[in-house]
Amino acid sequence: MTNTTDSTIFRIGGDLAVRRIGYGTMRLAGAPHERGGMTAPIWTAPTDRAESIALLRRAVDLGVNFFDTADAYALGAGEELLAEALHPYRDGVVIATKAGVVRPSPTEWITHGHPAYLRQQAELSLRRLRTDRIDLFQLHRIDPAYPLADQIGALRQLQEEGKIRHIGLSEVTVEELTAASRIAPVASVQNVYNLAERGHDAVIDHTAERGIAFLPYFPVARGEHAADGGPLAAVAEEVGATRSQVALAWLLHRAPNVIPIPGTSSPAHLAENVDALRVSLTEEQIKRLTA
């Protein structure tokens, strides 16, 4: 770790310049009271649609230019919402989506990586996002039921057809990433990672060495790490920032390829998240947070 970020910009795939605080749209679904926790259904379009659209547009005004969604979020309604809010997309706005998970009910997220299915879902995402090419198309999960070469091969075919620009993976190990990279160039990895959940340190180090973007989802630690009297609270007081901002700043300091994608339906929290780019941490503070 270093005590300052190299830059507030990272180039995904070497050419998509994005600010290093993005926006994850997963939580913009259903009613506001249904969005919290790890078991939120993410099943229907948001009931506060006008407010959600205004929030996405506000994010662009604040300088956010990287938005992450998936076909599984509200059965495609998440992609439709993003297009309604931001299309025609401003120059520099980068849209990432995912395929490879089916939703037969509000409580089920089932991996499905049949190559024909992945290609079909890309076609549907293109329509919902109102674009001719998806900037970053991510395999939501690797499906052990099908050869990895077939799943990545389907994405490579879409890339060769000009329908997607870059390929990404989600919830993978270094070994899986290495195997996939032999089939097609991989521009990003999206794994869960935050102060409390650091199981993918090896993946961060591997991707940083190779210029691959690392997109931590659920980037803001909860529970014990965010409690009163803990190191996060202490550092936040020292630097005059919120605990969420310090948690995001810690991620930014972790490696120059890390691009957190916090989601929120609150305009105040949105602005707070973006301002985490301004938070500077000392080596001593980073060590306390990391311990």
131, 141, 223, 265 alpha-carbon torsion, rounded to 10°: 20
pLDDT band at 7 (very low <50, low <70, confident <90, very high): confident
Kindly provide the residue ranges of all beta strands, DSSP E only, lying in 100-232, ordered along the sequence.
101-102, 110-111, 134-139, 164-170, 188-190, 213-214
* Cβ neighbours of residue 118 closer than 8 Å, sequence gap 6 or more: 99, 100, 139, 151, 154, 155
**Distance (Å) of CA 193 to CA 70, 165, 201, 208, 289:** 19, 25, 8, 15, 14
For residue 140, pLDDT beyond 90? yes
Residues 51-105 have pLDDT tens digits of 999 999 999 999 999 999 999 999 999 999 999 999 999 999 999 999 999 999 9
Using the structure block, give the residue that is written with the tokens 């490696």.
255
As a whole number, mean pLDDT of residues 176-188 equals: 98
Sign of the CA dihedral running 162, 163, 165, 166:
negative
As a whole number, mean pLDDT of residues 257-280 equals: 97
Q: Which sequence positions are flagged as catalytic?
A: 73
As a whole number, mean pLDDT of residues 112-126 equals: 98
As a whole number, mean pLDDT of residues 38-48 equals: 94
pLDDT > 90: percent of the chain = 92
Spell 181-214 as b/e; 16+ CB within 10 A means b.
eebbebbbbbbebbbeeeebeebbebbbeeebbb
The model's pTM:
0.96
As a whole number, mean pLDDT of residues 187-197 equals: 97
As a whole number, mean pLDDT of residues 261-278 equals: 97
For the purposes of burial, counting CB atoms within 10 Å of the CB of 144, is it exposed (0-12), middle (13-18) or buried (19 or more)?
Answer: exposed
pLDDT band at 2 (very low <50, low <70, confident <90, very high): very low
Residues 209-267 have pLDDT tens digits of 999 999 999 999 776 667 788 899 999 999 999 999 999 999 999 999 999 999 999 99
pLDDT value at residue 125: 98
pLDDT value at residue 229: 84
For residue 1, pLDDT beyond 90? no
pLDDT value at residue 221: 73
- Omega of the bond leading into 88 within 30 degrees of 0 (cis): yes
* Cβ neighbours of residue 287 closer than 8 Å, sequence gap 6 or more: none
For residue 36, pLDDT beyond 90? no
Which DSSP letter does residue 14 get? Answer: T
More confident residue, 85 or 2: 85
4, 6, 12, 16 alpha-carbon torsion, rounded to 10°: 120
Q: From CA 261, how far away is CA 218, in angstroms rounded?
A: 8
Using the structure block, give the residue that is written with the tokens 């529970």.
223
pLDDT value at residue 39: 87
Question: Topology of domain 9-220, per CATH?
Answer: TIM Barrel (3.20.20)
**CA nearest neighbour of 198 among 289, 69, 68, 273:** 289
